[in-house]
Amino acid sequence: MHDPFVIALPDINNHAPANLETVFSIGNGHFGIRASDPLSHSATGGTIVNGFFETAPITYGESAYGYAKNHQTIINLPDLRAVTVTDEAGAAFTTQKLVSQELDLHTGLLTTEMILATLDGKRLHLQLTEAIGQTNQNVAALQYTFTPLSFSGKITVTKKLAFYQAAVTDDDPRKARAVQSLQIDDMAVDQGQAIQITTASTHLRVQMALSVPETTTLDLTQNQATEFFVGAEVGPVGNADGDYPTLVLPPDLGTVAEDGQQYWQQVWAQGTVDITGDKPLAQGIHYNIFQLNSSAGRDGHTNISAKGVSGVGYEGHYFWDTEMYMLPYFILTQPTIAKQLLAYRYHILPQAKERARTLGVTNGALFAWRTINGEEASAYYPAGTAQYHIDADIAYGIGQYYAATGDLDFITKMGFEMIVETARFWANFGSWFIKDGKKVFGFFDVTGPDEYTALVDNNYYTNRMAQHNLELVGQLIKAFQDAGQALPVSVSEKEQADFEIIADNIYLPYNQEHQINAQDDSFFDKPVWPFAETPKENYPLLLHYHPLMIYRHQVNKQADTLLADYLFFDDVPTDQLQREYDYYESVTTHDSSLSRAIFSALAARLGMGAKAYSYFMDTARMDLTDLQGNTADGLHLANLGGSWLSIVTGFAGLHYTADNLTITNHLPENWEKLAFKCQYQGRQLQVSMSHFGTEVTVLAGDPLDITIDGVQQKIAAQ
């Protein structure tokens, strides 16, 4: 049990069909296939295409100027796994037993075995082997192998591109709405079948094709295994009125499987993480890395939604999760994909500029809190648009990408403009005021990462991130000057000086009583949430209490001030950091899946090994154990990235700037060894640590100056 590179049914806590559909889903960044029971015609099964969405007007009881106008909802397309199987008399076979299901993380192959039966006792064994293209991201291959058990005769296999959607009646705001405004057209093809799905409002289309006709007869009279191969094509997202490429179906399972295997070999060669001494956690982190790579948009026009391509939860929207929890993994292991994720933000910069104007900010850009097409889709602005920190989050991601790669070409073409426009937003959005007799700069009526504390003044995280955003402008201007290049976006000397003055004077709230950074100006004036009186079944709080009740208490959904401490570790002395950790941990519910990874990484840095390990255990296998109770809606992608952060930046203490890379050994007691690969400034590195020391090897690239466990070293290439 717990093969580090194979996920099987015994590894999963919750065997409810919708949960298994999510956990065993496979994808390639363009589309994903949920692992439905192929004979059940599941309403929650289906094919999810990254960036294929429909809009519908948001209905407000009382609307106001500047509210988000339209829902944006990703569409669950026909289930590529679904089949109907009948005998010669028309009796239907249904699933009698799910025998096994295995996802091979080395190859990307998903294998499902089940027993099928009719009401009168005829039985078949079905093995479904499934692969999805990684180089050619438009194809999938499914091979059904039928073996008679107590049956001899012919069967009819019906395979059709059909919708089995059900209306969503749940009030949970994390679930997706049903989409009813689709036009579905059959297409004339020489082989098999094809359909075109067109959206009424967004005027987008996707074509899907299968290599087989709707019905096929198979002869099972010889009592032998009989294969039924289906090649599938899921075309790109295109404009309804534009040209569309010709669909090309894969010839066989082997072609698609080999493509996938080569891709995964590269992924593990560039960014594997190996834990010796804890097989369940080793399996968990491998699964998380696998699904991160399966979900990331690679074309510069799509991103990573909150559920990736594993489900339609959160309506397929992109959030700040990408830059803060998932991008770090790609920066240090797959920098080409990291660049494409940031390129998506550049392509929606015009919408961000327009959004800033709507908010009354005359210069700069404000990126949408939740979106697919760049327009704001959050109907609840206190926990949506008010999270202005997304601007600084994106800027932080760009800065980290540049520090790790030195890719000045990207900064020239895309990155610098985003940094400047977000800095301009902060300079125009904020205000000067007097605090303790000193003139300072701050931001009012904002919401930080903690969505249980909304519309406050001077959220510490927001202010610190805005400060960093403003400082980045000067750092990148110097990089252009050092390279002898002109600025790609004009920034006057006065504007640069203004950015520096504002950054130097940004107000960072501090609580004298507790001797810690204050989450915001009013946080410590509020009563602490009555945790002792809150029953376990009332978590998450957002589903059981009015927002205003939550807002008037000290209670955190997730790390907020501590997230700033995590990102800017040198800001706070260790004794103060310990006080902050202790206090904010006491008022945090971890109702957000984004929370535990940060608490784990900080605990590791603070030397609290047992606590760091406990939080990490929750992050590493969150979806395999269904810890949050809603994996059926899709994987928690930010947590998948967070588990990698817990290991690499927590237990391995990795921290970098453009000038230095630091590794500090915080290996958990019950691990024998930790080894991982990463890339830094054109070098491929192997980091290995045990309780006896830390070793860093330069596998490729130039010699490296690095700080290992507090000692500055120079490591030559292998």
Catalytic residues: 451
Helix, strand, or coil here: 459? coil
DSSP assignment, residue 554? B
Beta carbons of 179 and 54 less than 8 angstroms apart: yes
Helix, strand, or coil here: 72? strand
Q: Tokens representing 32?
A: 């994903």
Cα of 631 vs its chain's centroid, Å: 14
Phi-psi region of 109 (alpha: psi -120 to 50; beta: other; left: phi over 0): beta
Q: Does 170 appear as a known binding residue? A: no
Q: Tokens representing 265?
A: 């070999």
198 phi, psi to nearest 5 deg? -125, 135
Burial status of residue 272 (CB atoms within 10 A of its CB: 0-12, 13-18, 19 or more)? middle
Q: Does 320 appear as a known binding residue? A: yes
Distances (CA, A) of 236 to 261, 438, 481, 591: 22, 56, 41, 36
Beta carbons of 391 and 426 less than 8 angstroms apart: yes
Q: Does 321 appear as a known binding residue? A: yes
For residue 246, what is the enclosing H or E element? none
Q: Does 712 appear as a known binding residue? A: no
335 phi, psi to nearest 5 deg? -60, -25
Beta carbons of 73 and 181 less than 8 angstroms apart: no
Phi-psi region of 404 (alpha: psi -120 to 50; beta: other; left: phi over 0): alpha
The amino acid sitting at 475 is Q
Q: What is the dihedral of CA 544, 548, 553, 559, to 10 degrees?
A: 70
DSSP assignment, residue 413? I
Burial status of residue 216 (CB atoms within 10 A of its CB: 0-12, 13-18, 19 or more)? middle
Q: How far apart are CA 85 and CA 159, in angstroms?
A: 9
Q: Please enumerate in sequence order all residues whose Cβ is within 8 A of that of 500, keeping only pairs 6 or more positions apart, or say none.
A: 470, 471, 474
3-state secondary structure 630-646: CHHHCCCHHHHHHHHHH
* 57 upstream amide cis, omega within 30 of 0: no
Binding residues for substrate: 320-321, 557-558
